[in-house]
Amino acid sequence: MSQAPALPVDPAEGLRSLFYAHYRFQYLSAAYQLGLFALLASRPGATRADIGRQLGLEDQPTRILMLGCTAFDLVHKDGDRYFNSKLAEPLATNNDQVPAAFVPWEQHVNYRPMAWFYESLKANTNVGLQREIEGTSPTLYGRLAGNARLETVFHNMMGSVSRLVAEQLVHKLDLSGYRHMLDIGGGTAINASNFARRWPHLQITIIDLPSVTEAANRRIADLGLSDRVRAIGLDAFQDEFPKGCDCVLFGHFLEIWSTDRNKALLTKAARAVEEGAGIFVVTPGQNDDETGPELAAALSAYFQTVASGEGMVYTPREYEQWFAETGFQPTGRQFVGELGDIVISGVRTSDEAPSAP
Mean pLDDT (the chain) is 93
Verify that 205 and 58 share a domain, yes or no.
no
Choice among 45-49, 97-101, 192-196, 351-355 with the minimum mean pLDDT: 351-355
* Domain membership flag for residue 322: yes
| Range with the poorest average pLDDT among 147-161, 269-283, 313-327 | 147-161
User: Torsions phi, psi of 58, nearest 5?
Assistant: -75, 170
Same domain, 167 and 31: no
Answer yes or no: do 175 and 75 share one domain.
no
Given a cut of 60, is residue 356 above it in pLDDT? no
Q: Assess if residue 16 is contained within a domain.
A: yes
In a domain, 5, yes or no: no
- My answer on whether 257 and 340 are in the same domain is yes
What are the residues whose beta carbons fall under 8 Å from the beta carbon of 243, sequence distance 6 or more?
272, 273
Domain count across the chain: 2
> Domain with 44 in it: what CATH number?
1.10.10.10
Q: What's the pLDDT score for residue 96?
A: 82
Average pLDDT rounded to a whole number, residues 111-122: 97
| 324 and 214 in a common domain | yes
Q: According to the model, what pLDDT value does residue 164 have?
A: 81
pLDDT per residue over 220-248, tens digit each? Answer: 999 999 999 999 999 999 999 999 999 99
Per-residue pLDDT at 357 exceeds 70: no
Q: Which residue has the higher pLDDT, 262 or 155?
A: 262
Give domain status of residue 203, yes or no. Answer: yes
CATH number at residue 272: 3.40.50.150
pLDDT of residue 144: 87
pLDDT band at 7 (very low <50, low <70, confident <90, very high): low
Residue 1 — pLDDT band, cuts 50, 70, 90?
Answer: very low
Question: Are residues 265 and 180 part of one domain?
Answer: yes
272, part of any domain:
yes
Whether residues 214 and 85 fall in one domain: no
Q: Which of 24-33, 203-212, 294-303 has the lowest mean pLDDT?
A: 203-212
Is 136 a domain residue?
no
Of 91, 113, 128, which closes a domain?
91
Would 115 be classed as within a structural domain? no
Residues 199 and 68 in one domain: no
**Domain match, 331 and 192 both:** yes
Indicate yes or no: pTM above 0.85: yes
Least confident of 157-161, 214-218, 255-259: 157-161
Range of the domain at 254: 161-288+307-348
**Residue 354 predicted with pLDDT over 70:** no
pLDDT at 338 over 80: no
Q: Which residue has the higher pLDDT, 187 or 180?
A: 180
Which of these three, 72, 91, 110, is where a domain ends? 91
Q: Does position 188 have pLDDT exceeding 80, yes or no?
A: yes
pLDDT in tens, 131-144: 999 999 999 988 98
Do 85 and 170 sit in the same domain of this protein? Answer: no
Give residue 2's pLDDT band: very low, low, confident or very high (50, 70, 90): very low
Between 203 and 145, the higher pLDDT residue: 203
Shared domain for 211 and 67, answered yes or no, is: no
Q: What is the pLDDT of residue 9?
A: 64
Q: Decide if 41 is inside a domain.
A: yes
- pLDDT tens digits, one per residue of 39-71: 999 999 999 999 999 999 999 999 999 999 999
If asked whether residues 245 and 336 sit together in one domain, one would say yes
Which of 91, 107, 123 terminates a domain? The answer is 91
